[in-house]
Structure 1
Amino acid sequence: MKKLLLGILLLLSFSVLSACGEEKDNADSGDKKEINIGATSGPYADMVEKAIKPILEDKGYKVEVTEFTDYVQPNNALAEGSIDANLFQHKIYMESFAEQNNIEISELISVPTAPMGIYSNKFDSLEDITDGATIAIPNDPTNAARAFLILKDAGLIEIDEDADPLTVSDKDVTNNVKNLKFETIEAAQLPRAVDSVDLSAVPGNFALAAKMDLLDALQLENMLDQYRNRVVVNTKDLDATFAKDIKAAVESPEFEKVIDEEFEGFGKPEWMK
């Protein structure tokens, strides 16, 4: 009889421990009310602070914002669990980083993003650009492709219709209307290049870091959605309550109001148009 009672007590103990474990797993998977969102210092940390955090706090969340100064640590911190979401990267970078580092991260939603622009201290308009002008473009293939697409939209070059817009290069230029000379430079140096060359194709994040006004660009990028930054979470958290609430916050009228008031020049993703 004593053995039977002991067996029942042990069974009940295991059941209680199991239930506690399940409750903890459920809490960890998305019912928590304290979340940490990582973002690169500058406009995207500001976007979290000003446009996302207040909405989540109104829903009862306690939100911490962690700022990063590089493009590696935000995803590492997410995969390790020290943050719950991040905002700093576009789709192409996210997928490449996840594959190279064998982590499972996924986008929740894209957000308004600072576009690349063509800037000049020499010309006041596209019409003023002289034949043979030099333009500095990013030396990495992804951002270089964006620069060529802006030049195409500005009517300064023509591109092979069969070219992949994500991998366009100078080899795809079929007509260089102004005989532009392309000078490749590391992306972070492009704001400085405005002073040394005729034109410079500056990615939005570097333009803002250099205190440039996006609206001063001769031409702003008609950005492909793949290049827009997005809120990213661990794939296992896609259906978590906190993830759904972050997505709802970005989709809210309050979020768009802050964007319109404080993030002028940022290109809105297709779902906001």
Structure 2
Amino acid sequence: MKKITLTLISILLIGVLAACGSDESSASPDENKKLVLGGTIPYSDMLEKGVKPYLEEKGYTVEIKEFNDYIQPNLALKNGSLDANLFQHKVYMDAFAKENDMELTSVITVPTAPIGVYSNKYKTLEEIEDGSTVAIANDPTNLARGLTVLRDNGLIEFDSEVDPLRASEKDITSNPKNLKFTPVEAAQLPRTLESVDLAAINGNFAISAGLDLTKALARDKLPEEIINRVAVLTEDKDEQFVKDIKEAIESEQFKKVIEEDFQGFHKPDWMTK
């Protein structure tokens, strides 16, 4: 009886251990295959259409989270509720990381909606009249970009020593059309088209307002540090899911989505080579 009892106990213990091992081996991969990616419009749509399907084909369960500001997507990375985000350029990412005691790493750049000059009054830059009013962003980075678009199209000039990424109104050395500038919060720029002659509007806010990027009177030429990118916590940069996100964005499937649904976006150099 003792032998039978010991045998039964041994069988039961082996069964329990085997079941535990089975649970652990099946749960771990599933847990690792769950990804939450975040972005602002239109980059949340870019993730939804161009990245999520590719990752799901590789066995991931993917949730796309949409944000309405530029603060929460990075804080969500910090608190672990996001695995990666897509909404920011390098200048912003580095400044945010420094101010918030974070370590962020860029994974890969993506097509980026450019700042464009829009008008309900003029159809070409040549039509712009003397003394026209221009709405521009009131934050330093987007202000500089808006002014640079105007400079690159011959409407104003800067001092040659001015960094285009840090230019402000005080750096304007020539303004032949006597343009009058109205600084406004970037998100509100589309609404100003009813009250000003021109507005230099961020691409994401232009899209949200229903403006056609391809119909801007002029668009900015984005330097590498101003092109938006996928970002992750630096501690995660070598994880497999990060490599898979990069692979998804480099895929032909992603490029096709860009051609069909994101016309007028500035493409990073790696996509045009």
Q: Given the two structures, how large is their TM-score scaled by the length of structure 1?
A: 0.86
User: How far did residue 172 of structure 1 move?
Assistant: 1.9
The match for 1:187 is 186
Paired residue type of 2:59: G
Q: Which piece of structure 1 moves more, 48-57 or 177-186? A: 177-186
SS in structure 2 at match of 1:194: helix
Q: Where do 4+ consecutive residues of structure 1 move more than 4 Å?
A: none
- Whether contact under 8 Å (1:187, 1:203) holds in the other structure is yes
What does residue range 155-174 of structure 1 map to in structure 2 within 5 Å?
155-174=154-173
> Where do 1:59-138 residues align within 5 Å?
59-138=58-137
Counterpart of 2:37?
Answer: 37
Cα drift, residue 37 of structure 1: 0.7
Unaligned runs of 5+ in 1: 1-19
Letter in 1 for 2:249: V
**Offset, 1:251:** 1.2
CA shift at 1:144, angstroms?
A: 0.7
Cα distance in 2 for partners of 1:261, 1:177 equals 40
* Aligned residue in 2 for 1:239: 238
Please report how far the alpha carbon of residue 171 of structure 1 lies from its aligned counterpart in structure 2 after TM superposition. 2.1
Corresponding letter in the other structure for 1:113: T
**Aligned positions of 1:21-32 closer than 5 A:** 32=32
- Please state whether the residue corresponding to 1:130 is helix, strand or coil: coil
Work out the CA distance in 1 between the residues paired with 2:105 and 2:118. 34
Q: CA deviation at 1:176?
A: 1.3
> Which position in structure 1 is the counterpart of 2:261?
262
2:149 aligned with 1:150 = yes
Measured after TM superposition, the shift of residue 116 of structure 1 is: 0.7
Where does the alignment leave 5 or more consecutive residues of structure 2 unmatched? Answer: 1-20
Distance 1:63 1:74 in 2: 16
Q: What is the alpha-carbon root mean square deviation over aligned residues?
A: 1.9
Tell me, in whole angstroms, the C-alpha distance in 2 between the residues paired with 1:81 and 1:54. Answer: 23
CA distance in 1, matches of 2:213, 2:230: 22
Q: Which residue in the other structure is 1:9 paired with?
A: none
Task: Give the AA of the match of 1:263.
Answer: F
Task: Report how far residue 159 of structure 1 moved.
Answer: 1.7
Q: Tell me the secondary structure at the aligned position of residue 64 of structure 1.
A: strand
Aligned ranges 1:217-228 → 2 under 5 Å: 217-228=216-227
How far 1:61 sits from its partner (Å)? 1.5
**TM-score, structure 2 as length reference:** 0.86
Secondary structure of the corresponding residue to residue 81 of structure 2: coil
Superposition deviation, residue 210 in structure 1: 1.0
Measure the CA separation in 1 of the matches of 2:71 and 2:156: 34
**Amino acid paired to 2:92:** Y
- Report the alpha carbon displacement of residue 183 of structure 1 after superposing the two structures with TM: 1.4
For 1:270 and 1:121, locate their aligned partners in 2 and report how far apart those are by CA, in whole Å.
32
Helix, strand or coil at the partner of 1:95: helix
What is the aligned partner in structure 2 of residue 176 from structure 1? 175
- Give me the whole-angstrom Cα distance separating, in 2, the residues matched to 1:176 and 1:69: 35
Amino acid in structure 2 at the alignment position of 1:178: K
What number of residue pairs does the alignment pair up?
247
Per-residue CA distance 1:123-162 (angstroms, 9 max, x = gap): 1101111112111111111111001110011111122221
SS of residue paired to 2:188: helix
Counterpart Cα distance in 1 of 2:108 and 2:201: 25
* 1:215 and 2:225 aligned: no
What is the match of residue 7 of structure 1? none
Percent of residue pairs identical: 56
Which stretch shows the higher mean deviation, 241-250 or 178-187? 178-187
CA offsets 1:43-83 (integer angstroms, 9 cap, x no match): 11110010011111122222111222222221111111111
